Amino acid sequence: MRSNPLFVPRVDAALPAIGPPTSPPPATDTAFSSAQFAALAELNQALECELLHCQEKLNLVCAISARVATLRSVDDIESALLGDLGTMLDADALFLDRSGCCLRVSLGTTAAGSAPGAAQVRAALAPYVEAARVGRRVIAVPDCGALGGARVLLGRLPRLESEAGVVLALRGSTRAPFDATDVLAAEAVLAYGAETLSNVAMQRHLHRTTLETVYVLVNAIDAKDNYTSDHSERVGALARATGQRLGLPQEQLQTLEWAALRHDVGKIGIPEHILNKPGKLDPDEWELMQRHPVIGHEILKPVTNFEPFLNAVLYHHENHDGSGYPEGIAGHDVPLEARIVHVVDIFDALTTDRPYRRAFSREQALGMMERDAGTVSDPDITAALVHVVRSGALFTAGDFGHLRANGANAGS
Ligand SMILES: [Fe+2]
């Protein structure tokens, strides 16, 4: 059983005898002698040092946890954890054993020359590495003969779904062995790191699941409406590029692209003979067609993850002057993402062949859009789109494009 570091005695001081005396002592024997006072004072000082030592370690654990909590990528989290762990343990060298390979971790300030190589470390410590990997506890080896008496500390660090790594911290034989405080601090840091990496894995999984759901929805629309084949994907990519031109932050760009991909999902609820009618829609058909933003909103609303995109789906046919549908709102009352999707949607419609007309050229379409800016479309967003198209930097693949390129599908 591990001792509590707060109570690890560092001084072999003789404590005064405590307990009932066998016979009433003389009055002079009830007081401590000066030697016993000195021993107590020395013990108190040692305990105080131990307490400070623990406090410092605790502060470091908290600082590492706070830093790691600000990071989002697996590589950044792991790199920060390993570097900080090496510093906290005052290690001379740090190694990471994973997937049958042992690599030295750069600690920056450490003199590398005297430390053993990764292969030598792995050969000397293989049984301990496997014990740490399986046992999930930090192990301290006070004197590793195969490494010239090096002091070693080993702890497990899982990384996503792949094989768990084992961290090995080394101090030279002339240094103090890792003590119980080091073990507890390393356990705290590694446990927190494992938790953080696991959360990142879950977020990635959720992100991919959401992306695959979108993929299914977009495919469903494409299968039903000849016009929308690839239309959603083009609008997604161009909306992202237009958002970049407008200076939107990365997170908002992703929201925008995903909103653009879903904007016509409500067409699932429109009969195919209306969607693919070669001629002009009659008033009843047009009224039904105008319901697709509301239908799309209703389809997506139950999915919590889709909440950020609902407004863009609902309002992507609202015009700048309030003459659009479904609610006839105008100007900046229309959410930004919806205004961007609206502008990009018009451009893609104009530059696509329809059953009743040929596609306009890009320049023809841009001219028509510039003419209608301020009435049909938001003038600032129209200007951003015009710049993007004319600069030729429009079709940069976002998340969805990458998913398509990788051949993923909902069944995989
Ligand atoms: Fe639409």
- The pLDDT tens digits of the residues spanning 133-157 come to 888 789 999 999 889 899 999 999 8
Which residues pair with residue 94 across a beta bridge?
Answer: 105, 169
**pLDDT above 70: residue 336:** yes
**pLDDT above 50: residue 410:** no
Q: What confidence tens digit (pLDDT) does each residue in 38-83 have?
A: 888 888 887 887 777 777 777 777 777 777 777 777 788 888 888 8
Supply the mean pLDDT for the chain.
81
Say yes or no: 159 and 256 in one domain: no
What's the predicted TM-score (pTM) here?
0.56
Whole-number Å distance, alpha carbon 348 to ligand 1 midpoint, is 11
pLDDT at 7: 36
Say yes or no: 372 and 250 in one domain: yes
Whole-number Å distance, alpha carbon 319 to ligand 1 midpoint, is 12
Residue type, 283: P
**Exposure string for 133-160, b = 16+ CB within 10 A, e = fewer:** beeeebbbbeebeebeebbbbbbbbbbe
Whole-number Å distance, alpha carbon 215 to ligand 1 midpoint, is 17
Whole-number Å distance, alpha carbon 314 to ligand 1 midpoint, is 9
What is the pLDDT averaged over residues 344-364? 89
Whole-number Å distance, alpha carbon 379 to ligand 1 midpoint, is 20
Among 149, 183, 199, identify where a domain stops: 199
Say yes or no: 74 and 158 in one domain: yes
Does a structural domain hold residue 168? yes
**Residue 378 contacts residue 343 (beta carbons within 8 Å):** yes
Using only C-alpha atoms, the chain has a radius of gyration, in whole angstroms, of: 34
The whole-angstrom separation of Cα 303 and Cα 324 is 27
For residue 165, the number of C-alpha atoms closer than 13 Å in the C-beta half-sphere is 23
Whole-number Å distance, alpha carbon 216 to ligand 1 midpoint, is 18
Whole-number Å distance, alpha carbon 120 to ligand 1 midpoint, is 64
Residue 249 structure tokens: 């932050």
Max mean pLDDT range (73-82, 186-195, 230-239, 362-371):
362-371
Does a structural domain hold residue 219? no
Does a structural domain hold residue 377? yes
Cα dihedral value 234, 388, 398, 411, nearest 10: 0
DSSP E strands: which ranges in 72-184?
Answer: 93-98, 101-105, 139-144, 150-157, 165-171
pLDDT at 22: 54
Say yes or no: 282 and 234 in one domain: yes
How many domains, the chain?
Answer: 2
Percent helix, percent strand, percent coil in the chain, to nearest 5 = 60, 10, 35
Instruction: Classify burial at 72, counting beta carbons within 10 Å of its beta carbon; exposed 0-12, middle 13-18, buried 19 or more.
Output: exposed
Does a structural domain hold residue 67? yes
Whole-number Å distance, alpha carbon 342 to ligand 1 midpoint, is 8
Whole-number Å distance, alpha carbon 268 to ligand 1 midpoint, is 11
Whole-number Å distance, alpha carbon 326 to ligand 1 midpoint, is 11
Domain containing 239 equals 225-405
Q: What percent of the chain has pLDDT over 70?
A: 84
For residue 260, the number of C-alpha atoms closer than 13 Å in the C-beta half-sphere is 35
Whole-number Å distance, alpha carbon 384 to ligand 1 midpoint, is 21
The whole-angstrom separation of Cα 179 and Cα 153 is 9
The whole-angstrom separation of Cα 71 and Cα 67 is 7
Whole-number Å distance, alpha carbon 344 to ligand 1 midpoint, is 11
**Which is more confidently placed, 197 or 136?**
197
| Residue 11 confidence class, pLDDT cut points 50, 70, 90 | very low
Say yes or no: 243 and 359 in one domain: yes
Does a structural domain hold residue 220? no
**Which is more confidently placed, 5 or 61?**
61
Say yes or no: 38 and 156 in one domain: yes
Say yes or no: 9 and 127 in one domain: yes
Please state the length of the chain: 412
Say yes or no: 183 and 248 in one domain: no
What is the pLDDT averaged over residues 239-255? 93
**pLDDT above 60: residue 28:** no
Whole-number Å distance, alpha carbon 328 to ligand 1 midpoint, is 15
Among 199, 214, 235, identify where a domain stops: 199
Say yes or no: 158 and 276 in one domain: no
Instruction: Classify burial at 109, counting beta carbons within 10 Å of its beta carbon; exposed 0-12, middle 13-18, buried 19 or more.
Output: exposed
Whole-number Å distance, alpha carbon 339 to ligand 1 midpoint, is 12
Does a structural domain hold residue 360? yes
**Which is more confidently placed, 359 or 219?**
359
Residue type, 268: I
What is the pLDDT averaged over residues 178-185? 89
Does a structural domain hold residue 24? no
The whole-angstrom separation of Cα 279 and Cα 376 is 23
Residue type, 256: L
Whole-number Å distance, alpha carbon 251 to ligand 1 midpoint, is 24
Max mean pLDDT range (96-105, 131-140, 197-206, 233-242):
233-242
What is the pLDDT averaged over residues 300-307? 82
**Residue 168 contacts residue 125 (beta carbons within 8 Å):** yes
Number of Cβ within 10 Å of residue 355's Cβ equals 10
Whole-number Å distance, alpha carbon 228 to ligand 1 midpoint, is 10
Q: What percent of the chain has pLDDT over 90?
A: 35
Q: What confidence tens digit (pLDDT) does each residue in 72-117 have?
A: 777 888 888 888 889 889 999 999 998 878 888 887 654 555 678 8
Q: What confidence tens digit (pLDDT) does each residue in 359-408 have?
A: 999 999 999 999 999 999 999 999 999 999 998 765 544 444 444 444 33
Say yes or no: 232 and 180 in one domain: no
The whole-angstrom separation of Cα 351 and Cα 360 is 5
pLDDT at 327: 97
